[in-house]
Amino acid sequence: MAYWRRNSRQMQAATGQVAVAPASPVAQKPKSPRSRMMRQYDLVERVRTYNPDTNEDLLNRAYVYAMKAHGTQTRASGDPYFSHPLEVAAILTNLKLDDATIVAALLHDTIEDTEATRAEIDNVFGHEIGALVEGLTKLKRLELVSREAKQAENLRKLLLAIADDVRVLLIKLADRLHNMRTLEFVPHASRRRIAEETLDIYAPLAGRMGMQEMREELEDLSFHTLDPEAYAVVMQRLDALAERNRNLVGEIETQLSKNLQKNGIAARVYGRRKQPFSIWTKMERKSVGFEQLSDIYGFRIVMQDVESCYRALGVVHTTWPVVPGRFKDYISTPKQNDYRSIHTTVIGPGNQRVELQIRTEEMNQIAEFGIAAHAFYKEGTGSPTERLKHESNAFAWLRHTVGILSESANPEEFLEHTKLELFHDQVFCFTPKGKLIALPRQANVIDFAYAVHTDVGNSAVGCKINGKFAPLSSELQNGDEVEVLTSKAQQAPPSAWESLAITGKARAAIRRATRTAVRDQYAGLGRRIIDRLFARAKIEYADDKLKGALPRLARASIEDVMASVGRGELKASDVARAMYPDYKEERMVRYGAKKSLAVKLKLKSPPHPARSTSVIPVRGINSDLPVKFAPNGGAVPGDRIVGIVTPGEGITIYPIQSPALKDFEEEPERWLDVRWDIDETMPQRFPARILVHNVNEPGSLAQVATVIAEHDGNIDNISMSRRSPDFTELTIDLEVYDLKHLSAIIAQLRAKAVVAKVERVNG
């Protein structure tokens, strides 16, 4: 952005064009290498211009301390290293920040890059400044497995430091801005990585904090590095457009000002054009060419108060035709970063589309400089951060993001969620009670539900958008009223929702609920396995007794023990031995492979009523246990069944006649007594496999499929192989209700003339 401003002003001076935008206080022209550094008195004078009561002694001491600490260190450009913290401080003086922030900027690299320590800085400059400098220190010696993990961990520490004092963020952004301005001196191999990180994290973070001017410059500097060809093309087009419309900006400014004055409204009107990166991303997002963009120029109408803003809007809308769908009122519904303004687009002079932003002076300052525009010198108690917690909505987003820290399983997951939160514009939706919910663009009802409350998201089963039923995956639009329908029967959301959700909060909550549900399933299975063993051994089980044995099992809680047993990581007999050291594990007597299997199968027969408590009931894949069915044939109610525990996977259910059970003869501890527990009021399908020898003639496959469909069976998968010229072998995976249902389908298939043979497959 600084590059554009310099060249734009030069071009305007040569052509006599009216300047389209004042220079940003942030975007000062970078100093050339080895240029004169700012002196102590220069820095003091810069601060004095906006803070007459500045502590000159503090600033002077920080200047001298930092210069001596960095000593003969140099930057990649060849400049003394001290020039960098000095330029960072200069950027912050343009934002009119307090003495402590300026001093911390001067010292921000001392702990990391010099012999200075936190204790020494605390001693010389006080705890407040020491905490600011510490918050900016990178995790230099942290050993992490990847660059992404290091980046995530640094961001994690930065956000935690910001939560304590927002000035950490302002210094960090100014630090990154100066590094980007001098990126050309960095080795080429590092240049792209730094630009990508800036575009991924720091530019959108500045935007989230409402610091639009800084965001735009960071974006354009990154864009220039990452795609110099595209940047050059956009700049050429912008220069050509400026030449064609040399007087257009001035004419529109004049007409707007005259119409407002005629209606007794005093306003400051000025035009500006969009930045190269903003133009390029819009071309990419909408797949349009430069010539098709109609809002390259925008105009700001800055008023004295809110009432004047709406009066100005009335004048504009009664003077020029309004472009439908291009009106947004961010004064009545501010963005989460405190941005407030009225946006509208009209067909202005020369039939040109003119994008207008109408706001007060205070809104304009906040729109440009975000949290930095909030007065640090207001009367009141508490630190700037404490005051901003009450004055700035951006802090609500920050606290929410920091809250994700405790919900993320690893640094990369946190980084993923944070990037999701940073990148999107917003839509504003309402609950039926009128509560405003701000969400990223492309967010859906799932995101909305979790934004209301995590419990609402976890129990959501349906929704109404503007009074009409709609899918939970429906994308939301500005102004939608959303009612989320919930059910107590749904304890955890489907794991597939994670791929549908847009917001980091929703994804984190779904992932956490899924992990909890899986853990609960394994814990439930483990408890039943332990109950079964204790019942057979005729020994007493009690949670209190197990709690005393936790150290011997190296587990922190009873739930950890149960989940470990359910996952197969811990044997139930080990738990019994930890509780009762004299416990002797029962072993089956082996009489050879065939006899051994027969004994085991006898144990798996339907249980005697007296020992039913030791048998685990099976409902299906949606039960509260981690259950799956034999992969090559399944099992259906009516089959006599056995359960095999697979570590990390739960229970696999096999029919008693399955030949696959021979593979587990040598592992008796994995066998479980199981029985069907079917809820007749809620019919559920179960997997089965059949083998059909079909006559090879036209329409024979259709006849087989028709029989299955007519008898309410569902084909899950089908494979075909040609065994002879006259017959085709079909392997069909079905879903049926029970053994009676499966037998009926097989009988009807056998009655068909095109079917030579049907048999059930037991894998």
Question: Which alpha helices (H) appear in 622-695, and where do they start and end?
Answer: none
Residues 554/659, Cβ–Cβ less than 8 Å: no
Residue 736: partners with Cβ closer than 8 Å, 6 or more residues away: 636, 685, 686, 688, 713, 714, 742, 745
- Give the burial string for 597-636 (b: 16+ CB within 10 Å, else e): eeebeeebeeeeeeeeebbbebbbeeeebbbebbeebbbb
* From 45, 113, 407, 531, active-site residue: 113
Q: Is 114 left (phi over 0), alpha (psi -120 to 50) or beta?
A: beta
Distances (CA, A) of 530 to 254, 280, 526, 559, 574: 84, 63, 6, 12, 10
Q: For position 320, what pLDDT does the model report?
A: 86
Tokens, residue 38 = 């700012």
DSSP per-residue codes, 535-570: HHHT----HHHHHHTHHHHT-SSHHHHHHHHHHTSS
Give tens-digit pLDDT for 421-436: 554 556 778 888 877 7
Q: For position 741, what pLDDT does the model report?
A: 92
Q: For position 609, what pLDDT does the model report?
A: 35
* pTM summary value: 0.55
In the three-class reduction of DSSP (H, G, I as helix; E, B as strand; rest coil), residue 68 is classed as helix
* Domain ranges within the chain, ordered by starting residue: 2-235, 514-579, 593-676, 686-761
726 is catalytic: no
Tokens, residue 532 = 């079964």
Q: For position 292, what pLDDT does the model report?
A: 66
* pLDDT, mean of residues 361-375: 74
* pLDDT, mean of residues 699-711: 90
pLDDT at residue 133 greater than cutoff 60 = yes
Q: Which candidate, 406, 399, 498, 405, places its Cα nearest to that of 457?
A: 498
Confidence of residue 239 (pLDDT cuts 50, 70, 90): confident
Measure CA of the first residue to CA of the last residue in the chain; give whole Å: 67
Q: For position 385, what pLDDT does the model report?
A: 47
Highest mean pLDDT, choosing among 123-137, 271-285, 325-339 = 123-137
Distances (CA, A) of 521 to 104, 528, 544, 682, 686: 52, 11, 22, 21, 20
Residue 125: partners with Cβ closer than 8 Å, 6 or more residues away: 58, 61, 62, 65, 103, 107
Q: For position 617, what pLDDT does the model report?
A: 64
Give tens-digit pLDDT for 196-220: 888 877 888 788 777 888 889 999 9
112 is catalytic: yes
Question: Per CATH, which fold does 686-761 belong to?
Answer: Alpha-Beta Plaits (3.30.70)
Confidence of residue 621 (pLDDT cuts 50, 70, 90): low
Q: What is the mean pLDDT of the chain?
A: 78
Give tens-digit pLDDT for 510-545: 988 888 887 887 888 788 888 878 887 888 888 888
Question: Per CATH, which fold does 2-235 belong to?
Answer: Hypothetical protein af1432 (1.10.3210)
341 DSSP 8-state letter: -
Q: Which candidate, 576, 575, 571, places its Cα nearest to that of 539?
A: 576
